Amino acid sequence: MERMQQIVGQARAAFNSGRCRSLGFRMQQLKALEQMVQEKEKEILAALKADLHKSGPTAFSHEILGVLKELALAMDKLPSWAAPQPVKRDLLTMRDEAYICPEPLGVVLIIGAWNYPFVLVMQPLIGAIAAGNAVVVKPSEICENTARLVSDLLPQYLDQELYPVVTGGVPETTELLKQRFDHILYTGNSTVGKIVMAAAAKHLTPVTLELGGKSPCYIDKDCDLAVACRRITWGKYMNCGQTCIAPDYILCDPSIQSKVVENIKATLQEFYGEDVKSSPDYERIVNKRHFKRILGLLDGQKIAHGGEADEASCFIAPTILTDVSPESKVMEEEIFGPVLPILTVKNVDEAIEFINRREKPLALYVFSNNKKLIKRVISETFSGGFTGNDVIMHFFLSTLPFGGVGNSGIGAYHGKHSFETFSHHRACLIRDLKMEVMHKLRYPPGSQKKVDWAKFFLLKRFNKGQIGLVILALLGIVAAVVTIKMVYY
**DSSP-assigned states of every residue in 29-42:** HHHHHHHHHHHTHH
Give the model's confidence band at 452: pLDDT under 50 very low, under 70 low, under 90 confident, else very high. Answer: confident
Q: Is the peptide bond before 445 cis (omega within 30 degrees of 0)?
A: yes
pLDDT given for residue 348 in this prediction: 97
What's the pTM value of the predicted model, to 2 decimals?
Answer: 0.92
405: alpha, beta or left? (left if phi > 0; alpha if psi -120 to 50): beta
Separation between Cα atoms, residue 197 and residue 215, nearest integer Å:
23
pLDDT given for residue 475 in this prediction: 54
- Identify residue 443 by its one-letter amino acid code: Y
pLDDT given for residue 288 in this prediction: 96
Separation between Cα atoms, residue 415 and residue 400, nearest integer Å:
8
Q: Known catalytic residues?
A: 210, 244
pLDDT tens track for 203-243: 999 999 999 999 999 999 999 999 999 999 999 999 999 99
pLDDT given for residue 462 in this prediction: 60
pLDDT tens track for 128-151: 999 999 999 999 999 999 999 999
pLDDT given for residue 467 in this prediction: 56
pLDDT tens track for 231-287: 999 999 999 999 999 999 999 999 999 999 999 999 999 999 999 999 999 999 999
Is pLDDT at 45 greater than 70 in this prediction? yes
Is residue 10 within 8 A of residue 161, CB to CB? The reply is yes
pLDDT given for residue 320 in this prediction: 98
The more confidently predicted of residues 453 and 124 is: 124
Separation between Cα atoms, residue 67 and residue 49, nearest integer Å:
18
In three-state secondary structure terms, 159 is coil
Distance of CA 168 to the CA centre of its chain: 24
Is pLDDT at 442 greater than 90 in this prediction? no
Lowest mean pLDDT among 105-119, 324-338, 368-382, 473-487: 473-487
Distance of CA 282 to the CA centre of its chain: 26
Mean of pLDDT values over 290-307: 96
Give the model's confidence band at 90: pLDDT under 50 very low, under 70 low, under 90 confident, else very high. Answer: confident
DSSP states along 324-344 = --TTSGGGTS---SSEEEEEE
pLDDT given for residue 482 in this prediction: 47
Nearest C-alpha neighbor of 178 from the set 327, 364, 3, 307? 3
Percent of the chain with pLDDT over 90: 88
Is pLDDT at 480 greater than 80 in this prediction? no
Is pLDDT at 8 greater than 60 in this prediction? yes
Mean of pLDDT values over 460-472: 58
* Burial profile 331-351: b = 16 or more Cβ within 10 angstroms, e = fewer: beebbbbbbbbbbbbeebeeb
Is pLDDT at 195 greater than 90 in this prediction? yes
In a 13 Å sphere around the CA of 250, the CA atoms on its Cβ side amount to 32
Output phi, psi for 318, to 5 deg.
-55, 125
pLDDT given for residue 305 in this prediction: 98
Lowest mean pLDDT among 92-96, 402-406, 478-482: 478-482
Separation between Cα atoms, residue 257 and residue 220, nearest integer Å:
11
Mean of pLDDT values over 80-109: 95
Give the model's confidence band at 441: pLDDT under 50 very low, under 70 low, under 90 confident, else very high. Answer: confident
Nearest C-alpha neighbor of 392 from the set 238, 208, 262, 187? 238
Is residue 420 within 8 A of residue 105, CB to CB? The reply is no
